[in-house]
């Protein structure tokens, strides 16, 4: 068996965060549809732009963050960047209110 068959890719996400994000995005989509259908003028454009921007922020804050355990590395997906750490360099993992990955060089 290959290494990917022995150790599949596992993604950890808080379910409450994902459900909250999906509910807010569905509500934003409904409001955007209603604004397009009923609205007119500068107010409708401003509300539509605000809903699109707000939806992007909700996605980045609730759905995107994850911890991905792959066969060769651990990937922490934060809202703005991805941090990949090879398993060989990880000395310790601590999970309290946040995930701490301890290596020889950094935490």
Predicted confidence at residue 1, as pLDDT, reads: 46
Whether the predicted pLDDT of 94 surpasses 90: no
Q: What is the dihedral of CA 33, 38, 40, 45, to 10 degrees?
A: -20
| Residue-wise pLDDT tens digits, 22-61 | 999 999 999 888 888 887 888 888 888 999 999 999 999 9
This prediction's pTM: 0.72
- Confidence class of residue 3 from pLDDT cuts 50, 70 and 90? low
Predicted confidence at residue 56, as pLDDT, reads: 93
């Amino acid at each position: 068996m290959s290494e990917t068959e022995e150790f599949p890719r596992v993604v950890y996400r808080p379910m409450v965060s994902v459900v909250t994000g999906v509910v807010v995005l569905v509500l934003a989509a409904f409001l955007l549809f209603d604004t397009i259908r009923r609205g007119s003028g500068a107010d409708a454009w401003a509300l539509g732009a605000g809903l699109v921007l707000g939806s992007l922020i909700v996605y980045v804050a609730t759905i995107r963050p994850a911890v991905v355990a792959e066969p060769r590395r651990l990937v922490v997906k934060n809202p703005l960047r991805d941090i990949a750490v090879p398993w060989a360099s990880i000395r310790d993992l601590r999970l309290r209110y946040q995930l701490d990955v301890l290596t020889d060089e950094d935490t």
